[in-house]
Copies of this chain bind each other. A is one copy, B any other.
Amino acid sequence: MGTVSKALELLDLFTQRQPQLGLSQIAREAGLNKATCHRLLQEMEGAGFVEQTGPAREYRLGPAVLRLAALREAAVPTQAAAMPALRSLAEVTGETAHLSRLVAGRLQTIGFAYGTQHSMMVRMEDADFLPFHATASGMVVLAFQPDSLAAQLLGAALPQLTQSTATDPAAFLSRLPAIRARGHAETESTFEPEVHGLALPLFDANSACLGSIAVATPAARMGPDQRQKTLAALVKAAAEITRAWGGQLPPGLETLWRDVA
């Protein structure tokens, strides 16, 4: 792996929960030598991608990334184009809707919206990575990848997040064709107890699946009626976002979804 990849991987260590990291911690988590990390961080600091804060000299993401994101959104308005459909989805279902897409082999949260009816909601965090094996989003995205790619993205070690989490990669992969045939993925309590997930795939212009749209519901509120309503709203939102992104549904899926709605 080249130096540049190593440097960019360091940026992945920053999360909502750990927005600031010390040098030693970065080196530890990245599995790199402290001196190497220091040099890489120096270079990235010079470009404004990270900055050092306060007396503890911790590192955090720098202001240069704001410019890049603004340019990206201006060139390819992925998030902005999807938000109306996402908000409408949250409103109609009354639940938490979220959007994720495949970025460099991981599933990245792009946006989310809350419904307004209920006081108890499934909480989402922006800019997170979702585990493929424990979320409806991850499952549906994997289900619509070529088999070998799906196995590769899934990886070998599946952390057990709840009692219901799948932990055997082979068993997990064997369930993907059924998801593909159904056109959506459904989970309950695989990511967090009492959280129900329902996800549909999103496609690019070549009918390749590059993300998903999903609704997360407290399990107690998910019955047959709510499930039907959620599915119908998801189909509508998925079609709208795919259109907004200039995507193309793979053959068969359109009719499959039409029956649901």
Give me the interface of A with B, judged by CB distance under 8 Å. Answer: 2-5, 7-9, 11, 14-16, 19-20, 39-40, 43-44, 46-49, 60-76, 78-79, 101, 103-104, 108-110, 126-127
Provide the residues of chain B in CB contact with A7, threshold 8 Å: 4, 7
Minimal beta-carbon separation of A21 from chain B (angstroms): 11
Provide the residues of chain B in CB contact with A78, threshold 8 Å: 63, 66
How far, in angstroms, from A152 to B102 measured CA to CA in the complex? 42
Minimal beta-carbon separation of A1 from chain B (angstroms): 8
Contact assessment for A74 and B2 in the assembled complex, using a CB-CB cutoff below 8 Å: no
How far, in angstroms, from A251 to B161 measured CA to CA in the complex? 54
Minimal beta-carbon separation of A185 from chain B (angstroms): 22
Contact assessment for B4 and A44 in the assembled complex, using a CB-CB cutoff below 8 Å: yes
Contact assessment for B62 and A65 in the assembled complex, using a CB-CB cutoff below 8 Å: no
Contact assessment for A40 and B75 in the assembled complex, using a CB-CB cutoff below 8 Å: no
Given contacts A39-B2, A69-B66, A110-B66, contact A44 B8 (CB under 8 A): yes
Contact assessment for B103 and A62 in the assembled complex, using a CB-CB cutoff below 8 Å: yes
Provide the residues of chain B in CB contact with A9, threshold 8 Å: 47
Given contacts A43-B4, A47-B8, contact A72 B68 (CB under 8 A): no
Provide the residues of chain B in CB contact with A20, threshold 8 Å: 75
